Amino acid sequence: MAPPLRSARPLQLTLALLKPDAVAHPLVLEAVHQTILSNRFLIVRAKELRCGRDESRRFYREHAGRFFYQRLVEFMASGPMWAYILAHENAVSLWRSLMGPTKVFRARNSVPDSIRGAYGLTDTRNTTHGSDSPASASREIAFFFPEFSEQRWYEQEEPRLRGGRVFYSAEERVHRPCIPAGAELT
Ligand code: ADP
Ligand code: MG
């Protein structure tokens, strides 16, 4: 496994979704998960969820009225997904570059090794979502992880994760900061 990320700069967060086409195929789900780990993202939170039609409509409201909107909403509500909060020095742009272009046929031609180039099925069923800016990331993380406080995470977890004091829990599929020896006694 890749060595833990140690970063001199503050970690940036992004929201990644593994869409229903990925989750429907366990090998694709596992391959994308391994891509996340091998690119040394820290998985801050991860959960399986289902997105209803109303939630999907709200999540993609910037696309309301586009010709693909209804199809997109139906697809996002069609089966379980995995949502991840990912941390990295440059999480937003790194995750988007690993995903590849939105349109699968373009991805296959121009970046065949990207996630969408390798696993995407159609322009709608394109395997993953990634926030397109730090502001979108904050909004989208709050949308899918309302219980998560970014501010508290930066105060309490980020410094330890950034210093490399981290272990990966394969069972929970997340990285956790190591608790300093004896800390639980104080
Ligand atoms: P991205 O997911 O790369 O940020 P957009 O925000 O433009 O792309 O679009 C959101 C999602 O809508 C895409 O990931 C894809 O599932 C769907 N989509 C976008 N453009 C099209 C299209 N031309 N035809 C079908 N589906 C599309
Ligand atoms: Mg987008």
Residue-wise pLDDT for 123-174, tens only, equals 999 999 999 999 999 999 999 999 999 999 999 999 999 888 899 999 999 9
CA of 117 to the centre of ligand 1 (A): 14
Q: How many CA atoms lie within 13 A of 103 on its CB side?
A: 5
Q: Is the pLDDT of residue 32 over 80?
A: yes
What pLDDT score was predicted for residue 180?
A: 66
**Residue 129 annotated in active site:** yes
- List ligand 1's pocket residues with C-beta within 6 A: 63, 68, 72, 102, 123-124, 126, 129, 132
In angstroms, the CA 111 to CA 99 distance is 9
At residue 179 the predicted structure's pLDDT band, cuts being 50, 70 and 90, is: confident
Assign domain 12-177 one CATH number from 3.30.70.141, 3.90.480.20, 3.80.10.10, 3.90.660.10.
3.30.70.141
Return the ligand number nearest the Cα of 99. 1
In angstroms, the CA 107 to CA 116 distance is 6
As a whole number of Å, the end-to-end CA separation of the chain is 33
The residue-averaged pLDDT of 102-106 equals 97
At residue 8 the predicted structure's pLDDT band, cuts being 50, 70 and 90, is: confident
Domain boundaries, given as residue ranges, for the chain: 12-177
Residue-wise pLDDT for 59-78, tens only, equals 999 999 999 999 999 999 99
pTM, two decimals, is 0.94
